[in-house]
Chain A
Amino acid sequence: MRKVIIGNHALSYGAMLSRAQVIAAYPITPQTEVIELLSEMCANGELDAKFIKVESEHSAMTACVGASATGVRTFTATSAQGLALMHEVLHWAVGARTPVVMGNINRAMAPPWTIWTEQTDSLSQRDTGWMQIYCQNNQEVLDSVIQAYKVAEQVKLPAMVILAAFVLSHTSETVEMPEQEKVDEFLPPYELEYKIDPDDPHAFGGLTGPDGYFELRYIIQKAIEDAIPKWEEVGEEFGKLFGRSYGLVETYKIEDAKELIISSATVASTARSAIDYLREKGKKVGLLRIRVFRPFPAEKVKSLLSAIDKAIVIDRNISFGASGIFYQEVKAACYNEKNKPPIFGVITGLGGRDVGKKDIIDIYEYVMKQDKVESDIIWKGVRV
């Protein structure tokens, strides 16, 4: 069955089809439709979940972490300021090894107050240990929620499914709705190995000194590394059942490519049409869309970049004092490689300024005229 739904509702349907059992959420523009629909689903019995309408995002995440530790599937959604308020608890979810799944609508951070899209909110959480999936359309949003539970529950780490404010959150698209029986087959009930259980009492998260904490961090890193093949396996398995396969990255027209445009989310989706145009003009350019940002698909990036002449990373985010964040990651992954192209970093579209096909064509043409990387940031579209 197909439905025309906004990206926010794709998150809600993803949580519903995954049979989330506890939801705790707090409203923030542009996320509200996610929790409004979930409230209705819980009220009318479509979804058998406890919905805690908490008084803050901090409480939303702590409630999800607490519920998850009892062995149930949990869901929340937020954006920008709300995600920043959760920051402490994002670390807690990882340290407590609770596979919470959350939707985050990429919105730029205040001040000044703004509600339009940018990725700096979620990318600021990159070192927490949350897995991060950047989606390019509403179908992928819904499908990624289901996959996120599957991977998260296997590696016992939380996952964030991310979509652009308004560009996806409030844009209606046709979405194929997976059948519940098939989702149940794909995602069986959640079984947690270690959980809060009065019949088997344990303390979780008690004081741990230098002789124990280090190893726990090592184990988390191993778990998130394990998630790298799991995202591929789960994405393929999903494809077999539902006809739509996913991986860590997506490539487009790369077979004979001399140059690669690297981006994420909806900017990458727009880049596809820019590439079509450039291909018609005889340019040998392809696209690398990074879907899973954490764990970072470094091996994929390295091998794809080993055979090209130039790479252009387009970031709708910024790490002040450094550069675009996807750019840093791509550059870092390739640094020790023998065969690596010059990597150009472009920052554009901050605070939701539109990034269109022509902008990406302009970026490509500008970079083609450069012999070497002069600066870590090429600003595109800033009016200064």
Chain B
Amino acid sequence: MKLSIPEEEIMGHGHLACQGCGAALAMRYALKAFGRNTVMTFPACCWSVIDGPFPHSAVNVPLFHTCFEAAASTASGIKAGFDAQGKDVNVVAWAGDGGTYDIGIQALSGAAERNDDIIYVCYDNEAYMNTGVQRSGSTPYLSWTTTTPVKHPKQRPKKDIVSIMAAHRIPYLATASVAFPEDMITKFKKAKDIKGTRFLLVFSPCPPGWRANPENTIKLAKLAVLTRVFPLIEVENGRVWKLTKKVRTVKPVSEYLKLQGRFRHLSEDDVAVIQENTNKDWEILMDKVGEKD
């Protein structure tokens, strides 16, 4: 049997991630797909710490730390540096949701508009987790964070970064989940072989930030897909939308929400609104995908 996930472990042991960290799994799978001829740049994010303090590094590929808002532009510069030397290297910007949806969106938009030949990965844990769970543009509607207390949880929906990136007409973008490693690795390998800006959004549960049990990381990531909260898709050239994981038996969002302390304060009505929003978003997505399900 041909293994669909490369056996080689590039990421080393001894990283500093919390128990059940989705972002740590995301990196492990990403490196399996990208291989060793890869260079990474991290803006400020959990991975700035997870990788290990100087002089340790867990990723085992060259890593250039950069400032918070500059993952994409730093990657563009690194890629140009290799191009100027005639070297073909996968250059990967690896950022959290804060560094992608919020402070880094300008540099990301610039790189995408130029179609710079970089891979941009956002491991999305839906808040500023490294600084202690503050809300970000990716934090979902009505979620608790340390800056959206339960008396006034987040009032706005999660920013639709996928549509924003699709609107840049980049050659490839995909969403992935640490609960579906084969789907993720297929997409990451596909991304690796495409030229231009590639954007990969990886759903990465954060047990401490979501007030969830570390043993539920995979369960939560799976439920996010099965409840249609986080659909697994691909978009080519901003125009061709494809659903890569069809959900046969759709689960109610309450199953996903109830495992997380960040949603513990929700009333039944709140949950109903989230369910309704999820359904509407799904319909919009189906219009783009061009199929009814």
Contacts and interface: CB of A to CB of B under 8 A. Distances in A.
Contacts of B80: 22, 24, 50, 52, 63, 67, 72
B84 A67 contact: yes
Contacts of A202: 57, 62-63
B100 interface: no
A198 B106 contact: no
A340 B116 CA distance: 57
B67 interface: yes
A70 B41 CA distance: 12
A3 B52 CA distance: 54
Interface string B201-224: 000000000000000000000000
Contacts of B59: 201, 203
A56 interface: yes
Contact of B106 (A24, A52, A56, A60): A56
Contact of A55 (B38, B62, B107): B107
A188 interface: no
User: Main SS of chain B's interface residues?
Assistant: mixed
B67 A88 contact: yes
A97 interface: no
Given A50-B80, A207-B49, A55 B67 contact: no
Nearest to A48: B84
A24 B111 CA distance: 12
A231 B123 CA distance: 46
A207 B73 contact: no
Interface string A53-70: 111101110111111111
Contact of A201 (B60, B85, B110): B60
A203 B40 CA distance: 9
A70 B39 CA distance: 10
B271 interface: no
B216 to A, nearest CB: 29
A52 B76 contact: yes
Given A67-B77, A202-B57, A206-B57, A49 B84 contact: yes
Nearest to A205: B65
Given A22-B81, A204-B63, A207-B48, A56 B110 contact: yes
B25 to A, nearest CB: 20
A112 interface: no
Contacts of A24: 73, 76-77, 80
Interface string B41-71: 1000000110111111101111111110110
A207 B77 contact: no
A53 B114 CA distance: 8
B89 interface: yes
Nearest to A208: B54
A21 interface: yes
B113 interface: yes
B54 A198 contact: no
B36 interface: yes
Contacts of A65: 66, 74, 77
Nearest to A22: B80
Given A63-B74, A72-B85, A203-B57, 11 more contacts: A24-B77, A55-B107, A59-B110, A62-B73, A62-B74, A71-B85, A89-B67, A201-B59, A205-B64, A206-B51, A206-B65
Which 7 A-B pairs rank lowest in CB-CB distance, beginning with the nearest?
A: A66-B77, A55-B110, A70-B81, A63-B77, A59-B73, A205-B65, A203-B57
